[in-house]
Amino acid sequence: MPGKLKVGGSWNYTTKTIFVKINSGGLFGWRNVLSGWVKVGGVWKKWFIATFLDTFQRTTSATSLGSPDGINTWSNLRGAWGIVANKATANSAASTYPIATIDFGSTNVTILQDNVTPGVGAAFWVTDSNNWWATTTNAIQTATVTSVPSSTNYGTCYSPGNTNYGTCFTAGNPIMGTCTAGGNTFFGTCSTPGNTNYGTCYSQVYGSYYNSYTCASGTNPATNYACSGTNPTYTYACSNGTNAGTSNTCATGSNAASTNTCATGTNAAYNTTTYSTAYAVNVLKSTSGTITTAITFTFASLIVGLKTLIQGSTGNITVSAYSASGFGTQIGSNQTYTAPSYTATTTHGMILAPATYTQGTTFSSYEVDFITI
């Protein structure tokens, strides 16, 4: 419950740090406090100065949430909640609906849970493990099957013809028949006429006779000399007529259409499946261990932040959903349900319930704001 102090003759809700004077257990003097117990109408009630906030920034434990402030300690009422990577984490199956609680001293509070995953929610008005209320997030995937009827196939089908190319020519150029090249200077061989040889000749000697000598008879061969002149011209053979034209590709006409083979008969009917996801918050009630869904609120997108405002004096339960962390963007409008019968207690906490799709187990912060009616 939120506390009031009388200041200057007026009662005011406490929103700042306050001090109390103690003399107990070896502790003496003024001490600042976050919560305490006050006697109201002869009954001791737990009392909080202002907002309660737990961001779970402490030692990892699979089975204990510990205490955020050294005063208020979470109690596992059903199953086990613990801390993993600075997030509250349910370590019991969602089907067992694990719950952890603290006595907040008020039946009228707003519970804010950030970065929730499907199945996570707030437990409130908790009497014991079998009697409680809760709001839990959910994601539901729906498959839609569409039947596609049979359709006719085709036998032979064609693709249109495309332009093709024939053959075209350029004109040939004239060539010559017989052509002649002029002669070139050459060098032949010429001779001088031979000279006469002689037969026998004698030489005169002194005494009574002559000496005789044999000489070659006939004619000496002519002497060869180099001489010059001019070769005669000569004739080359040349093609008669005209060179053939050059062949080029050129467009003319169209190719015939191509024939393709297509399946004949009828296509069989078949089904296609598409999936859609809906998001919701269920308001749950447990009475003597029997858990029922009182109402379901639907939302247009994934729920990241969950706010549950409970009014113990009226039975009103108001749910707000947010699409981003920090509660900055609300999805749709507030949704309210009035409990027809309930027992409003001051014990609230966290719960994990089964999710239809993408079951989660964690969230990052738990805040309680105290309201007045």
Bridge partners of 121, per DSSP, are 136, 351
Taking CA 272 as the corner, what is the angle to CA 267 and CA 274, rounded to the nearest 5 degrees?
A: 165
CA distance 334 to 321: 8
What average pLDDT score do residues 48-55 get?
Answer: 79
In this prediction, residue 21 carries a pLDDT of 56
What DSSP string describes 34-76?
Answer: SEEEEEETTEEEEEESS-EEE---S--BSS----SSSS---EE
Question: pTM, whole model, 2 decimals?
Answer: 0.60
Distances from the Cα of 298 to the Cαs of 13, 137, 318, 337, 366, in angstroms? Answer: 36, 10, 13, 13, 23
Average pLDDT over residues 181-205: 66
Torsion (CA) 293, 298, 304, 306 in degrees, nearest 10: -50
Per-domain boundaries in the chain:
1-47, 51-145+275-370
Topology of domain 51-145+275-370 in CATH is Jelly Rolls (2.60.120)
Give the CA angle between residues 306, 310, 315 to the nearest 5°. 135
Digit-coded pLDDT (tens) for 234-289: 676 665 666 666 766 666 677 777 777 776 777 788 888 888 999 999 999 999 99
